[in-house]
Amino acid sequence: MNAVKHPIKRSFVFFLVPDFTMIAFATALDPLRSANRMLGYEAYSWRLASIDGKPVRASNGVECAVNTSLEEERRKMAGPDRPNMAIVCSGINVERYQNKSAFAWLREEYNRGVAVGGLCTGAHILAAAGLLSNKRCAIHWENLPGFSEAFPKANVFADLFEVDQNVYTCAGGTAALDMMLKLIGDDFDESLVNRVCEQVLTDRVRSPTDRQRLPLRARLGVQNSKVLTIIELMEANLAEPLSLIEIADHVDLSRRQIERLFRTEMGRSPARYYLEIRLDRARHLLIQSSMPVVEVAVACGFVSASHFSKCYRELYARSPQQERVDRKQLLAA
């Protein structure tokens, strides 16, 4: 007799962290519901968890009720209700999240063969739990500078999503949809994925390596290809800024031509624009990390903390130290 082929079944626990991003959570969950509907049986099941079993407020202010606490999840670990995957749903302020109980639970799940995942900024919590050393991962572009500095052993990329063996991470927003469609495709086939895409009104599954951010051309409203190439060079060399002569050699233009192009296209000199994007990165590091100000300065290509503070104050009308104080007061409010 031929063996009976049991239908695929996969269960999820979505662990909600305060200030989680609703769009990433919803676009991860709803494809599973749609897939069940198309298949005609419950291939995917899920439950929601929080630290204490109480509702969790998303960053948009909506409170979401949950099914279990982490204490209950621990009890389920050794029984038939153990999940196939535990997914961390987080969002803004993730760098302040420190919960040893949550970190230990994630490690326990992973060590028992449960896949782990992170939506939006969830990679930060997985890394804090010690699960991303030498692993490829993705995180929202806004959090990438601080994450890179805090977790140098993680191989983080500005991709939509990353799957490294039993670890799934995505950049949030609608990238969660792409990651879950990839998972559904691995479990079933492209036909089911296409039907789910039609149901949720998306035309394709984006590649993991598709851009998180808009292309420079669209983001900046700049059409000149030379200017775009120069800006890409600048963004790729923030810690050790290139000289204008080095940039000129790369793009086969004279310094005077570059100066003229930037005045026309960007309304300021190339040196000024370069300074502004380095200071923008510094601001992200000040907000997202606990790096000393002098280390932030070095990471953004400044030769001294005093010069960094002077430039920062001129652009943002406050010192780097005051930026930190204001951020802490905002979080405490």
DSSP string across 99-153: -HHHHHHHHHHHHTT-EEEEETTHHHHHHHTT--TT-EEE--GGGHHHHHHH-TT
Give the residue among 145, 138, 57 at the shortest CA–CA distance from 95: 145
Distance from C-alpha of 305 to C-alpha of 310, rounded to nearest angstrom = 9
Instruction: Give 3-56 pLDDT, tens digit per residue.
Output: 435 588 999 999 999 999 999 999 999 999 999 999 999 999 999 999 999 999
Instruction: Enumerate residues 6+ apart whose C-beta is below 8 A from 88.
Output: 15, 17, 106, 116, 117, 118, 119, 122, 125, 126
Give the residue among 278, 241, 251 at the shortest CA–CA distance from 262: 251
Phi, psi of 209 (to 5 degrees): -95, 5
Lowest mean pLDDT among 23-37, 54-68, 89-103, 205-219: 205-219
Q: Quick check: helix, strand or coil at residue 206?
A: coil
What is the rounded (10 degree) CA torsion for 264, 268, 271, 275? -130
Domains and CATH numbers, the chain: 8-198 (3.40.50.880), 214-328 (1.10.10.60)
Does the pLDDT value for residue 263 go beyond 60? yes
Under DSSP, the state recorded for 285 is: H
Instruction: Give 107-151 pLDDT, tens digit per residue.
Output: 999 999 999 999 999 999 999 999 999 999 999 988 888 898 889
Helices (H) and strands (E) in the chain, counts: 15, 11
Does the pLDDT value for residue 1 go beyond 60? no
CA distances, 109 to each of 11, 28, 58, 163, 170 (Å): 13, 20, 24, 17, 19
Greater model confidence, 43 or 284: 43
